[in-house]
A = this chain, B = another copy of it.
Amino acid sequence: MPRPPSVDEDQLGDLIAAVFRAKGYEGTGIGDLATASGLQRASLYHRFPDGKEQMAQVALTHVGRRFAAILAPMRDDPDVARGIAETARGLGEFYGFGALSCVLDTMTLAGAPAPLRDRARSLATAWLDAMTDAARRAGHRPEAAVRAARDAFVRVEGALVLGRVTGDTGVFAETVALLPSLLVPEDRA
C-alpha cells in the first residue's frame, strides 16, 4: 500500500516558502529545504522531480494561496473599509510584523530563472489589482485608486527592506496600521 507522506503538501509548501523568502532563490540550497522540512534531499526530489526551480515555484504557489486568503476580506466584505482593515491585519501577520521578507523582493534578483520572475510579477499584479479594486469600491476615483494601491505596495515592501537592514520593525507596523487610511478616501473613513 502507498506510504503516506510524512508532511502534507500544504505544510511542505509553507516550510519551503519560508526558506526561499528569507534566502532568495540562489541563496537557498536543497540542504536548507531538507533541514526545514525534515526530509532528506532525495525525498524532496521525489516530490519535486524538476528540482530546485520547481521547489521555488511551489513556494510561490503557496504564497499565492496565502495571499489570496489574506486579500479575501478586502475583496468580499460588503463593508469595504472593514475588509481593508482585516486584510491589513493579515498582511502584518503574514510578514511577521516586519521581521520577515517578501518573496517578491528576495526571489526576483538577477539570476533567478525567468519563469519564477514571471510568476512573481503576476503575484504582484494580483495584489496591486486587489488593492486598486478595493480602493475604487471604497470611494476612490479610478486614477486615485491605482495610485493608492501602488503607494501601499511601495510602503509595505520598503518597510520590509528597512526592517531587514536596520532591524527596526516599528516602521512596518506603522505602515500596516496606515494602510486603511491610504486605500479609503478621507471622507469615507
Task: Please report A residues at the B interface, Cβ cutoff 8 Å.
Answer: 22-27, 101-102, 104-106, 108-112, 117, 120-121, 124-125, 128, 150, 153-159, 161-162, 164-167, 171, 175
Number of copies: 2
A-B contact pairs, 16 of them (CB 8 A): A23-B110, A102-B161, A104-B165, A105-B161, A105-B165, A106-B109, A108-B165, A117-B165, A121-B165, A121-B166, A121-B167, A128-B166, A150-B162, A154-B154, A154-B171, A157-B158
Q: Which residues in B have their C-beta under 8 angstroms from that of A109?
A: 22-24, 27, 101, 106, 164
Q: Which residues in B have their C-beta under 8 angstroms from that of A125?
A: 166
Q: Which residues in B have their C-beta under 8 angstroms from that of A153?
A: 158, 162
A161→B165 contact, CB < 8 A: no
B157→A162 contact, CB < 8 A: yes
A110→B159 contact, CB < 8 A: no
Q: How far is the CA of A24 from the CA of B107 in the complex (A)?
A: 11
Known: A24-B26, A26-B24, A101-B109. A120 touches B158 (CB 8 A): no
Q: Which residues in B have their C-beta under 8 angstroms from that of A108?
A: 164-165
Q: Which residues in B have their C-beta under 8 angstroms from that of A23?
A: 26, 109-111
